[in-house]
């Protein structure tokens, strides 16, 4: 009887902790209807958003400037449309560049914003859009292209002269005066 009571108590504690984590996840992960007073939304379109999820960081010069609010697909342009929530202290020029970057080889992905030199700023009323975007690089495809020999081989077949292992040509050298030796 004593073991049964102990097992029941441990089971109740496990269920209580799981319930707390569920409540915490729902409270933190839920969509908020309005953007905070010191934040504004910007839209960015990407061809690929591999590694990015809702809540991913948005950084300017390595400093967190906001988060990814939503990710949706556009069925007309076949692009991923991201809504970014940024702190209002970052008044971005209209020629800002957005790219997907990672923290090292195994790190998480984030949106890196690189402000341009434009004079006009992106609208901070929720209608602003970052036009210049670069998607993520798929490392598996990149490694596969190098493995198959398509990764920028330095060998060239443009030379008409056949060279042996020592870099010597079968054709005779022609001196600058035009005489063949």
Band (pLDDT 50/70/90 cuts) for residue 146 is confident
pLDDT tens, position by position, 9-50:
999 999 999 999 888 887 766 544 445 678 888 899 988 888
Tell me if residue 99 falls in helix, strand or coil: strand
CB-based burial of residue 50 (10 Å sphere; 0-12 exposed, 13-18 middle, 19+ buried)? Answer: middle
Nearest to 82 by CA among 72, 90, 92: 72
Lowest pLDDT segment from 47-61, 85-99, 133-147 = 133-147
User: In angstroms, what CA-CA distances link 65 with 2, 43, 56, 112?
Assistant: 55, 15, 11, 10
Helices and strands per DSSP (H, E), number in the chain: 2, 8
């Amino acid at each position: 009887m004593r073991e049964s009571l102990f097992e029941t108590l441990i089971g109740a504690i496990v269920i209580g902790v799981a319930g707390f984590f569920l409540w915490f996840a729902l409270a933190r992960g839920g969509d908020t209807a309005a953007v905070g007073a010191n934040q504004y939304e910007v839209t960015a379109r990407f061809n690929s958003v591999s590694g990015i999820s809702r809540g991913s960081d948005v950084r300017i010069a390595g400093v967190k400037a906001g988060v990814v609010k939503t990710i949706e697909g556009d069925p007309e342009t076949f692009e991923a449309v991201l809504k970014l929530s940024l702190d209002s202290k970052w008044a971005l020029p209209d020629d800002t560049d957005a790219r997907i970057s990672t923290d090292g080889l195994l790190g998480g992905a984030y949106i890196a914003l690189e402000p341009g030199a434009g004079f006009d700023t992106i609208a901070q009323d929720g209608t602003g859009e970052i036009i210049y975007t670069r998607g993520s690089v798929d490392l598996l495809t990149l490694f596969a292209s190098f493995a198959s020999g398509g990764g920028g081989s330095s060998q060239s077949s443009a030379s008409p002269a056949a060279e042996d292992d020592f870099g010597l040509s079968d054709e005779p050298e022609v001196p600058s005066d035009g005489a063949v030796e």
